[in-house]
Structure 1
Amino acid sequence: MNLFDRLLHRRLCNEQPADGGAAPAPSEPAAPAADPANPEGDKPQPGTEADKPQEGKPADGEKSADKSDDKEQKPEGAPEKYEFTAGEGQELDTAALEQFEPIARELNLTNEQAQKLVDAYPKILAGVQQRQAEVWQAQTEQWAADVKADKEIGGDKLTANLSAAQRALEQFGNPELKEYLDSTGLGNHPALVKAFIKVGKAMSEDKVVTGGHESGGSDLISAFYPKK
């Protein structure tokens, strides 16, 4: 085959497809070849980012996080006015409630929460009073021990001195004073016991100084303040 025949043969091969079909027109662009790794091309696939909800937007079928079916309820707190009730067999301490209500309102307590504290108040108060009584009892007992151990009026001289104090109390006191000193325990106070002992001893003397002058009889004021 000469050179001319070769050129003609090559031209014919380029214009005819191998299977004998018609060759595509020169003006039509050839379709892009399919990518084996992406046979669907650029078509979005299910489950890709196209289906994901965008930032700030809920996905299909989901409710917005900022919207709720139930309205938010305002937290319950202090009422406009507290209404308290007394327990069975008890009475409300109005003076204590006047002090308690501002504190309950400051703490933003509900009426129910404040009522629980009101109900507990009598028990707390009873416990405090019991403790105070125990402390006072211990104090009066200590006073009595101090009188017995006192070097001036106690020891072997205690019985005679207490007799003198008893005479003074009966002479210048009354049943109400005796009851008060006994019930409160103040009758055991060393200073008070010594005062009554002085009065009792002054009563046994023939003369007691009164207003700077000697006279017979007894006088409570002069017994407490004898002439020196």
Structure 2
Amino acid sequence: MADAFDTTPPRQVADTEGSGAANAEVTPTIGPRDEPAAPEAGAEAAAEAPADYSGLRLPEGYRADDPVFGEATKLFGSEKIAPETAQKLIDFTVERDREIARAVNDHAASSWTKQTTEWRATSEKEFSPEALGNARTALAKVFDRQTIAYLEGLGFTNHPGLIRGMVKVASTIKDDSFVGGNAGRGTGTMDPKALYPNSQHN
């Protein structure tokens, strides 16, 4: 019996040396799968929604309807600054302004104290203790206590000009004839005896 021919096509022998999924060359595909996914409508709307700055806290003494605060919130919105960051910026700015104000006040107070101290030193050199005492007496007769307290609080009672004027008042009008606040009343003239109590023409 004759041998039969095998008509089945020969099987392709796999390459055992370089074949396999690990060594296969991957060809990048281009198509719909490579396009980025479109953002969801809700997420896009949330990203475009303006930030809410209504919860920002302002320190005592500041008002939400202040034009400066309104301009600040507009700036926060245009720069897309988060409310938490905006609060930090507000706190920092307010504290910085307070520090500047304290420094300015301290400098002004120090300068004024120096000025009044210089006034006092000048007055003590220019006037004798007796003259200063007379000036204080005249001051008490010309001004009420509230005004004197105000002048003392500002340091003006050390001013040489004020002391000089009070010394003149004290030397012109004697204590026993001067009544504060009554000058110019009545006839509008002052009794010559009050001005010259030792005159022989009285």
**Given the two structures, how large is their TM-score scaled by the length of structure 1?**
0.46
- Deviation of the 1:164 alpha carbon: 4.0
Which of 134, 139, 146 is matched with 2:118 structurally?
Answer: 146
Structure-1 residue corresponding to 2:172: 205
Indicate how the Cα distance of structure 1 residues 189 and 127 shifts in structure 2: closer, same or farther if over 3 A, else same.
farther
Select between 167-176 and 199-208 the one with higher mean Cα deviation.
199-208
Structure-1 residue corresponding to 2:133: 163
Structure 1 residue 105 corresponds to structure 2 residue 105:
no
| Structure exhibiting the larger radius of gyration computed from Cα positions | 1
Identity of aligned residues (%): 14
Deviations 1:32-74 (A, max 9, x none): xxxxxxxxxxxxxx969xx555xxxxx2584314735794553
Structure 1 residue 74 corresponds to structure 2 residue 44:
no
- Asked if the contact 2:156/2:162 (under 8 Å) is kept, the reply is no
Q: What is the 5 A alignment of 1:111-130?
A: 111-120=83-92, 123-124=95-96, 126-130=98-102
Query: What amino acid maps onto 2:171 in structure 1?
Result: S
Structure-1 residue corresponding to 2:7: none
Structure 1 residue 64 corresponds to structure 2 residue 66:
no
- Deviation of the 1:196 alpha carbon: 4.2
- Deviation of the 1:198 alpha carbon: 0.6
Runs of 5+ consecutive residues of structure 2 not aligned to the other structure: 1-23, 196-202
Indicate how the Cα distance of structure 1 residues 63 and 120 shifts in structure 2: closer, same or farther if over 3 A, else same.
same
Indicate how the Cα distance of structure 1 residues 114 and 165 shifts in structure 2: closer, same or farther if over 3 A, else same.
farther
Runs of 5+ consecutive residues of structure 1 not aligned to the other structure: 1-45, 54-58, 219-228
Equivalents in 1 of 2:25, 2:144: separation in Å?
104
Which of 107, 114, 120 is matched with 1:135 structurally?
Answer: 107
- Asked if the contact 2:51/2:82 (under 8 Å) is kept, the reply is yes
**Residue aligned with 1:107, SS:** helix
- Asked if the contact 1:148/1:154 (under 8 Å) is kept, the reply is yes
| Structure with the largest fraction of helix | 2
Indicate how the Cα distance of structure 1 residues 161 and 104 shifts in structure 2: closer, same or farther if over 3 A, else same.
farther
**Residue aligned with 2:54, SS:** coil
- Deviation of the 1:98 alpha carbon: 0.6
- Asked if the contact 2:138/2:169 (under 8 Å) is kept, the reply is no
Indicate how the Cα distance of structure 1 residues 75 and 170 shifts in structure 2: closer, same or farther if over 3 A, else same.
farther
Equivalents in 2 of 1:47, 1:158: separation in Å?
111
**Which of structures 1 and 2 has the larger relative contact order (alpha carbons within 8 angstroms, sep 6+)?**
2
- Deviation of the 1:169 alpha carbon: 2.9
Q: How many pairs does the alignment contain?
A: 154
Deviations 1:148-190 (A, max 9, x none): 454xx4525264554344224322323332333344x342674
RMSD after superposition: 4.4
